[in-house]
Amino acid sequence: MTEGNRTVAAKEWTLEDYIDLALRRKYLILVVFVAVFIIVLAYSFTRPDIYSATVTFSTEMGQDAGLSSVMPYRYYQMSKPVEYYLAVMNSGLYRDKIIKAAATDSILLAHGGLSADETYGLIGRIGLSKEEYSELMYMSVTANDPVVAYRIVDIAATAYKDRSREIQEEEARTTVEYVSKQIALAEENLENAERQLQEFKSKTKFTATNVNDGIIQRLNEIENKVTELATQRQLAQANLNVYNERLGQFEDQISAGLWDFETPEIVQMRREIEELQNKKNALEENNGSARQINQLDGDINERKQFLRDAVLKRSTDTSMSKRPAGETQEVAAYQERKIEEELNLFTLRNQERYYVSLRDSYRKQHPNMLEHSIELAKLQRAKTVNETLYNFLIQKGEEAKIKAATGTGGVKVISPPSIPERPIPQNTMRQIMVGVILGLGLGFGLAFGMDFIDKSIHTPEEIERYLGLSVIGTIPHIDYLKNKAKATVEKKQVVLAGRKNGHATVDKDINERTFQLLPLLGSKNPLVEAYRNLRTDLQFVNVDNQIKSIMMTSATPGEGKSLNTANLAISFSELGKNVLIVDCDMRKPVQHRIFQLEKTPGLTEYLARGQSLESVVQKTAISGLHLISAGTSPPNPAEMLDSKRMTELISQLSDQFDLVIYDTPPLIAVSDPKILAPKVGTVLLVVRAGKVNYHLVKDAFSRLAKVDAKVIGAVLNGVGTKKGYGYYYRYNYYYNSEYYTSGESKQRRKKSYSKPQLFKTR
């Protein structure tokens, strides 16, 4: 898909993703699975016994095949499909027959009887099946009582036979009516055909004797001969055109042929060939002797050869002298083929003229012979067809009447039903397995649906996919760590070493974030290690130029940027660095509450009232860590942060401290981070897993990009270590915790207690 100007690749699910989904939505999947499983289990063990009774019957394949030639499709069908029988069973007439028969059945009445609703419900349990390539069909009924199942299937089969017989009678009556109409029409057509034939004979005096005396046959033979010669002539002309085209490719005039030379010798030879050919055609037409025909063939071939040689010699003498030696043989070959094809064409034309003349002569001697013979054949054929159809309809009409009176409906019972002795096996294990599969499938389906609806960011891969921004660190969300620290404070009655009027006091309203500071968690738990990893990654972002200033911000409130600012500053101070936190969230400042310091004087007093830098920098209980609180909330925070004095302060602090971290408001809420980002130079975006919509994070990132802020990466905060969202993060923190806590069980039993730096005992 496309997000803005970036193309975001669709996520490809792996086995780890499916396991991760199951862990994140395990309660939903478990609830759905248990609910479905309990329902299926209860049904399996409380389901009453079910009995099945079956009747086997055969069906006729259809009507007499002879009717297929006269019946339209809607009246005739060779083999009815299963859908036809199901349609009969679902018809209201069939159901009414069963209900009426069941209400008066003596066995059912003796067994307690059935109401109309009960019978109607049992009709819905009637099943019908048909074997492929077979006339056998099976009708079965299931009921909780074996006698009821037996009687209902018996009644259903009887009603089905009756209904089938009624349908067949209706079809037979329709067939008789249709055939009767066709008989009347065929009788009329037959009378018309006989009358037309008689009128033709009386008018033309032409009978079948005229057709049989050979005149028509001879005329047809001559017509076929003319057609054959015309085809051969056209083929010979096409071949001649090919030779002329090939010879025309040469530069000289070499296309001289049989008709290009008019010498007395050649003209006489053509005339003799034509006369001999006519004599031969006459002999063949009059059944002349074979010896005479062979002699004429020899004379014709002899003169053709003489004519060929004469024409070929003259053509060669006029052109070969001008031709290069390399083309002489090719030209001579094509010239010889051309002369031979012209002689063949000459012979075919003579034969065609002869047979055309003979055909015309026959037509003059016997006018209208062909037309009369064709008309006579047509009339005789019409009479024969109508006569055959009429006789056939008479026969089938009688058969249809007999079938209408004696039809059985095409249904014959082969095996009658009997009272079932045992119920149908319930197969409880299969039902339970179906319940398991159904429960898991429905649970995972709902989990997928909720996961699809969830548009929040959960993993570093999603940040990289949607923003193209690398994730520098991941901070786990472990509630028990915070609770453990809170218990430690209460048990040891320790106080925070803050300053109130110069005295260390106990603040009864300690900020909730205070219990999540690193010193309260101990140096060997996963949360501390996560900040160490973040600190290390930041140190290696730019090895040549170490980062001096970092602006921490987020897209929306509540994503943990302030707590991450405090813990990251503590982590850097543990390296012996001189670190300063500047609380730039003048609307809702929290840093002074986290470290239990004074809110004023702070940044507002420095920027607006001209107080000195030394007066607003407060020391915390952490060695090397200082804080400039937000101070008094001003009416115009954005203008103050955009002032020249703020720009000078950022430059001055970078010179005095090893690292300065600026805690700023959320980007979506106010414009303060957009003002500070270009001034500070390095921005770290905090994203809380599972809380913020990725569209909001993308919007926040785009706002920073518009002011050319240098966003070095993101911190994914609150990553679940028990709810899924990735094998790496879950097991990373798990094994990290195992690594640091293994072997410490004995030390935990010691009475000595090592106090964190942030606390002092009262």
pLDDT of amino acid 281: 76
- Nearest CA among 21, 2, 139, 61 for reference residue 443: 21
Is the pLDDT reported for residue 101 higher than 50? Answer: yes
Q: Which residue has the higher pLDDT, 567 or 719?
A: 567
Q: Tens digit of pLDDT for each residue in 588-628? A: 999 999 888 998 899 999 998 888 999 999 999 899 999 99
Q: Cβ–Cβ contacts within 10 Å for residue 120, how many?
A: 14
pLDDT band at 743 (very low <50, low <70, confident <90, very high): very low
Q: Could you give the CA distance from residue 231 to residue 560 in angstroms, rounded to a whole number? A: 100
Q: What is the DSSP string of 556-585?
A: STTSSHHHHHHHHHHHHHTTT--EEEEE--
Is the pLDDT reported for residue 558 higher than 80? Answer: yes
pLDDT band at 379 (very low <50, low <70, confident <90, very high): confident
Q: What share of the chain is helix, strand, coil (3-state, %, to 5)?
A: 60, 10, 30
Q: Determine how β-strand 659-663 pairs with β-strand 549-554.
A: parallel
Q: What's the full length of the chain, in residues?
A: 762
DSSP 8-state class, residue 66: G
Q: Could you give the CA distance from residue 214 to residue 712 in angstroms, rounded to a whole number? A: 111
pLDDT of amino acid 323: 55
Which neighbouring-strand residues pair with 455? none
pLDDT of amino acid 673: 93
Mutual angle of helices 460-467 and 694-706, in 10-degree steps? 50
pLDDT band at 544 (very low <50, low <70, confident <90, very high): confident
Is the pLDDT reported for residue 691 higher than 60? Answer: yes
Q: Could you give the CA distance from residue 611 to residue 649 in angstroms, rounded to a whole number? A: 12
CB under 8 Å to 341, separation ≥6 — which residues? 236, 239, 240, 243
